[in-house]
Structure 1
Amino acid sequence: MEIADYIVASDGELAARVLEGDDHAFEYLFNRYREAIYRLFVQRLGRTDDADDLLQETFIKVYINLHRYNTAYTFGQWVYTIARNTFVDYIRRRQDGLPIDEHFAAPASSAPTPEERFINLQQRTQIEHYLERLTPRYRQLIRMRFFEEYSYEEIAAKLSLPLGTVKTQIHRAREQMCRMIAEGEQH
């Protein structure tokens, strides 16, 4: 696909290409929504220090769950929903026990269909491809944080590392993984 084709392709077309293994298409989707989602996080947080982390976490979730995208909604609505839910999770981790504005309430998830499980397996294979290219430490941190869903504090305790070190290394691992996905790293 030529660069001009990516630029004029609809979100749905790009999403379909990503599901077919075209990582360049994901880069174009990311670039279309990056700034709006980043601004959303900065607006909600009132600062920029965690907005980058939330943006990366959102787009990792978008990539992993792309097979669940329902074309009945615009792609932007779907990405926004993931960003909103990522923000809700962030607030819950930070202020455990405090009520959260119902405007940000996450919808209940449903069990995946057999087709979704198959596509999820394909996506997981692609993610595993990128994970294998990370250093063993980064790979372990990504698995613990995103697949086993440990909190930063739990990871720090399990690995006997300072909390700041865990946060920094997860941030770097996410950056590296996002860069590989965006660049279509295939080596």
Structure 2
Amino acid sequence: MELTATIVQDELVERCKRGDPTSFEALYQRYAKAMYNTSLRIVNNTGDAEDVLQEAFLDAFRSLNDFHYRSTFGAWLKRIVVNKSINVLRKRKMHLSELDENGMEEIPEEKGVDEADIQFKVAEVKKCIQQLPDGYRAVLSLYLLEGYDHEEISGILGITHNTVRTQYIRAKQKLVNLLKQGGLS
């Protein structure tokens, strides 16, 4: 069953490469919601996420001949969406503080927060994630929700691995604190 979906997907991409207008629409419908949600988790603004979605599809459709099935079309498109979302944050002057080696001593290792005692609904967690500063939210979303590792995030954001690690730790701590406070910022 899964193999069939991949073959159909590849056929759809191939029809798009040949310029079939109905295939463009079908490909858009297949991926638009997921790509919008990916962008929204990073940029935290519906207008920006809609813009990213449209620009990402335009770029993908213009560059279809550069897509050679080294990954799935969805993974390729997601990479475009993530990069465009990060560019939106950069335009907003997302603050990701670079740390020197001395600064690393000031950051404690993750404390054993009793997260098992904290039981919140998904909506409350999403609300608290939206309250995080852009840099924290971007790193946390890319790591926890999009599945990128710290090295990949470092490359995407153009920051050091240590900065990614630090931003992730701080984002997680701030998120836990927001959840403990009932989502109040």
* TM-score w.r.t. length of structure 1: 0.47
Larger radius of gyration: 2
Q: TM-score, normalised by structure 2?
A: 0.48
